[in-house]
A and B are shown apart, each in its own frame.
Chain A
Amino acid sequence: MIATADYIRILPEIVLTLFGLIVMFVDPLLPESRNVKPLGIIALIGSLGAVAASIYQMRYPGPAFWNFVVVDNFSIFFHLLVTIAAALVIMASFEYLRVQEIRAGEYFGLILFGTVGMALMSSAVELVLIFIALEISSISTYILAGFRRRDAGSVESSLKYFLLGSFATAFFLYGIALMFGATGSTDIPQIASALRLNGAPLLAYVAYALMFVGLGFKIASAPFHVWTPDVYEGAPSPVVAFMSTAPKMAVFAVLLRILFVTESPSLLAGSRPVWFWWVWGSAAVSMTLGNLGALVQNNVKRMLAYSAIAHAGYLLVAFAAAPEAGISAAMFYAASYTAMNLGAFIVVSHFANAGERYVTLDDYTGLGRRSPLLAMTLTIFLISLIGIPATAGFFAKFYVFSAALKANLVWLTIIAVVNSAIGAYYYLRVIVAMYMRDSTQEIPVMRVPAGVTATLLCSVAAVIYLGILPGRVLEFATRSAQSLLR
C-alpha cells in the first residue's frame, strides 16, 4: 500500500506528466497554424503548477516509494530551479515557434516531459532512478536540439549531441555497475554506509571516475566539453537557453548528491574525498579552456557556449571547496547562472530572427540605438556573467571563491580569479559592439513579443534580486546543504 504522502512527494512530476499528456491530446484537435498559443498556455500552466507543487512539497519532507526519492530542501531547491526555467523558456518560445515553423505540440510536450526527468534527478537517491531520469532529460534534449529540421546545422548538432551523449551515458552506466559491484547496492545512502564500513575498494575509485566522465559530459566540463560549442551553435536558441540551464543544473544536483552523500563520512571528518583531484583538475581546465575559447569567437552563440563551459568550471570549484559552504555556494551559483544564462540566450534567440541569421558580433553593432531595451537587458545579463557587483553573478562568484579559500584552495582560487578577468574581456566586447560601434548593415528591428518580454523581466528581476538581496536564497541553500550532509 502506498501512502498519499508518497504521491505528494512526486507531485511536481505528476503534474508535469499530466500536462504533457494534455498537450499531446489537444495537439491534434487544433488546426496546425493556430495551435502555438493554446498549447503554450497549457504547457505554461503545467510548469507553473509544478512550481506550486514543489512549494507545497515543503510540508512533506521525507522519503517515498521505498526510498527511491527523498523530498528535502535540496530537492525542492532544484525542483524550483528546473520548473521555473521550464516555465520561462515556454513563455519565451511562442513567437519563436511560429517564426521557425516548429511543431508546437511535440515541442512543449518534450519540454514538459524532459522537466519530469530533471525534477526527478534532484530528488532521486537511487542510481537506477537517477539513470532513468537522466535519460529522460537527455533524450528530450537531443530531440529538441534537432527541432529546426529545415536547417542542416540543427539536425547535425542533434546527431552530435546524441552520439556523444549516449556514449557518456554508457560510461555513467558502467560506473554505476561497478559501484554496485563494489558496494552491493545502488541506493546512495547505502553506498555511503558500505563505503564507510569496508573502506573504498579500488573498484569504487574506478566507478567514481566513470560516473564522473558520464556526468562531466552532461555538464560540459572539460575535458568532456568538446561538443558544447557545436551543439549550442546548431540547436534552436530557446532550446539552448533551456539545455544550458535546466538539465545541466539537474545534473549538478545529481553530482552533488552522489559525490557528497557517498563521501559524507570522510567529508565530515575533514579529510579530502577520493574524487577531490579530478574535480579540482576538471574545474581548472574547464575555466581556462572555456574562457580562452570564448575569446576568439565571433558568433555570439558559440561565445556563450564557451562561457557556459567556463561557468561549469566555476561551479566545480565549489565542489572542491569545504563541504557545507561549497554545496550552498554551488547551489547559489546554479540559481544565478540559470537566471543570467537563460536570459542572455533568450535575447540572442529573439534577436537572431527567422532562420537564426543574426548571431555574429557584427550583427550586434549599434543594437544599443536600434533597440535600447533589448540591448540594456542583454547588458545586465552580460555584466552579471562577468560578476560585477549588484548582479547575481557577483555574489555567486564571491561565495564560490570564499568557500574555496576557506578550504585553503589558494591555487584554484587564483586560477578562477584570473579566469574571471579574462572572461570580462569577451563579455565586454559584446557590450562595446552594441553601444560604441555603428551598425554596418540594415537589420530589421523586431517588436518584442509579450512572452519574451515577460521572460526577460523575470530573469532581470531574478538577477538583480540575487545580486542585491542574496540572503534568503543563500540561507535556504545552506539549510539544504546541511540536510544533504546529515
Chain B
Amino acid sequence: MVPITTLHYLVVAAALFVLGTIGVLTRRNVVIILMSIELILNAVNLNLVAFSRLYGLHGQVFAVFVITDAAAEAAVGLGILIAFFRNKETVNMDEVDLLKW
C-alpha cells in the first residue's frame, strides 16, 4: 500500500493548474475563461492546504483569503461581462479581437 503524502495532493493541484491555464488559453467563451481562472485558484488552495499540513495553519488562513478574493473577482468579472454584453451582444472573445497573445 502506498502511503498518501503531501506530494500526491500537490500533483493533483498541478494538474488542475495546467488544465485551468489551458482553458484560459484555448477557450473563447468569457464565462468559461472565468471558470478556468477559478480552477487555477482552486489549485492554489489545494496547494496551500496541503502545505499547511506541514507548516501550520497559515496556509489554511491564506486559502480563506483566496476564496474571498475569488468571490470579489467573480462579481466584478461578471459585472464587466454584463456591461460588455450590453454593448456587443456577445460573450465570445473572437469578437473582442483579443487574440493577441
| A78→B46 CA distance, assembly (Å) | 34
Q: Mark B36-50, 1 if CB is under 8 A from A, else 0.
A: 010011011001101
Q: Mark A142-178, 1 if CB is under 8 A from B, else 0.
A: 1100100100100110111011001101110110111
- Known interface pairs A166-B77, A180-B51; A173-B41 also in contact (CB < 8 Å): yes
- Known interface pairs A135-B69, A181-B10, A230-B100; A167-B24 also in contact (CB < 8 Å): yes
Indicate if B2 sits at the interface (CB-CB under 8 A): no
A186 and B58 contact, CB distance less than 8 A: yes
Q: Is the interface of A mostly helix, strand, loop or mixed?
A: helix
Indicate if B76 sits at the interface (CB-CB under 8 A): yes
**Interface residue count for B (Cβ, 8 Å)?**
42
| A135→B74 CA distance, assembly (Å) | 12
CB under 8 Å from chain A, chain B span 50-101: 50-51, 54-56, 58-59, 61-62, 65-66, 69, 72-73, 76-77, 79-81, 83-84, 87-88, 93, 96, 98, 100-101
Q: How many contacts between A and B, using CB within 8 angstroms?
A: 111
- CB-CB under 8 A from B72, the residues of chain A are 135, 139
- Known interface pairs A146-B83, A156-B84, A173-B44; A162-B76 also in contact (CB < 8 Å): yes
- CB-CB under 8 A from A162, the residues of chain B are 76-77, 80
A186 and B62 contact, CB distance less than 8 A: yes
Of all chain B residues, the one with the shortest Cβ separation from A138 is B73
- CB-CB under 8 A from B43, the residues of chain A are 174
Indicate if A428 sits at the interface (CB-CB under 8 A): no
| A227→B101 CA distance, assembly (Å) | 8
B87 and A152 contact, CB distance less than 8 A: yes
| A163→B93 CA distance, assembly (Å) | 11
- Known interface pairs A177-B47, A177-B51; A159-B65 also in contact (CB < 8 Å): no
Task: Mark B residues whose CB is within 8 Å of A.
Answer: 10, 17, 20, 24, 30, 33-34, 37, 40-41, 43-44, 47-48, 50-51, 54-56, 58-59, 61-62, 65-66, 69, 72-73, 76-77, 79-81, 83-84, 87-88, 93, 96, 98, 100-101
Q: Can you list 20 A-B pairs with a CB-CB distance of less than 8 A? A: A139-B72, A139-B73, A143-B79, A149-B87, A152-B88, A155-B83, A155-B84, A156-B84, A156-B96, A158-B80, A158-B84, A166-B77, A173-B40, A174-B44, A174-B47, A180-B51, A181-B47, A184-B51, A227-B100, A230-B100
